[in-house]
Amino acid sequence: MIQRLATSREALLLGAIVVLLAVIATRFPAFITPANLANVFNDTSPLILLAIGQMIVILTRCIDLSVAANLALTGMVVSMLNVAVPGIPVPVVLVVAVGLGTLMGMFNGILVWKLDIPPIVVTLGTMTIFRGIIFLISDGKWVNSHEMSAAFKAFPRAEFLGLAMLSWMAIIAVILFYVVMTRTTLGRAIYAAGGNPHAATYTGINVGRTQFWAFTISGAIAGLTGYLWVSRYAVAYVDIAGGFELDVVAACVIGGISIAGGIGSVGGAVLGALFLGVIKNALPVVNISPFWQLAISGGAIIIAVALNAQSNRAKGRIILKSAEHAA
């Protein structure tokens, strides 16, 4: 039990985060104060939310490259809605955001399920479509802080037990989807559909429908994050969260979610997001240019994929050796 825990991807990643924090603390002790760590977690919360949705999609052997564009379109729509109707209650805004994000996720899922189009092609296309729609509905204009109502901007910043609501939304999502992935029929179907689609089909699981629900969940989470993002930063524009899908995929892969499907956990996605969050918050502190962030994310993806491939290869050799001994 202890040996398995020590060699698990989650334990190793947690250890890497602790070591990283310790190294940073040797130069800047204030970085590891509880207040600053709470701020780092809050800054990373949008990435945690999107990484959970992306994890579910990747587990089914798919990928969703439209999550950042979904976030941006939803954020622009709810921002424009708030400008048009300043008194609209926040719960209604949340419903609109989640609903719109869900519809965009369903659109991706239908194209993958019913038309059998490769997920990377579908989501590359819808990523561009969603960004184009933002430009059309906004005419390329920004929605700025002074145009947003106080209540619209206040929700993600409101504090409860010392944490902002944005952080609490991420924590709730982690708990909810941990239960979904480990205790429900849908969670088991997602793992089965990605782990062995042919065997899953023989057991009565509709792989295409399962992928559809994975995209739908990812879209709903992206929609929710869209509102939280624009309300927290108090701005909405066409290129909001541009390139953020790379960070989302990086968080998943670093967290041990296999691109081949069927392997990964909510905990791994969260730790992968936190690893990137610590790096991105630490770079300015240690006087490293923010332009290195993309290079670091890309390098982390390559290293993580290599580690995943090596792990799978090792497991394969063990199986073959066992078969030889049995013969």
pTM of structure: 0.90
Residue 35 has pLDDT above 50, yes or no: yes
Distance CA 308, CA 41 (A): 26
Residue 297 has pLDDT above 50, yes or no: yes
Query: pLDDT tens digits, residue range 279-288?
Result: 888 877 777 7
Query: pLDDT tens digits, residue range 212-237?
Result: 999 999 999 999 999 999 999 999 99
Reported as a pLDDT band with limits 50, 70 and 90, residue 7 is: very low
Residue 41 C-beta-side C-alpha neighbours within 13 Å:
19
Reported as a pLDDT band with limits 50, 70 and 90, residue 310 is: low
Q: What integer is the mean pLDDT of 193-202?
A: 92
Distance CA 273, CA 225 (A): 15
Cβ atoms of 98 and 220 closer than 8 Å: yes
Residue 211, helix vs strand vs coil: helix
Residues near 273 by beta carbon (within 8 Å), at least 6 away in sequence:
44, 47, 48, 51, 251, 255
Distance CA 138, CA 158 (A): 28
Query: pLDDT tens digits, residue range 59-113?
Result: 999 999 999 999 999 999 999 999 999 989 999 999 999 999 999 999 999 999 9
Distance CA 16, CA 10 (A): 10
256: left (phi over 0), alpha (psi -120 to 50) or beta: left
Reported as a pLDDT band with limits 50, 70 and 90, residue 318 is: very low
Distance CA 268, CA 60 (A): 16
- Which of 3-17, 125-139, 162-176, 258-272 comes out lowest in average pLDDT? 3-17
Query: pLDDT tens digits, residue range 131-175?
Result: 999 999 999 899 999 999 999 999 999 998 889 999 999 999 999
Dihedral, 229, 234, 238, 240 alpha carbons, nearest 10:
-40
Residue 57, helix vs strand vs coil: helix
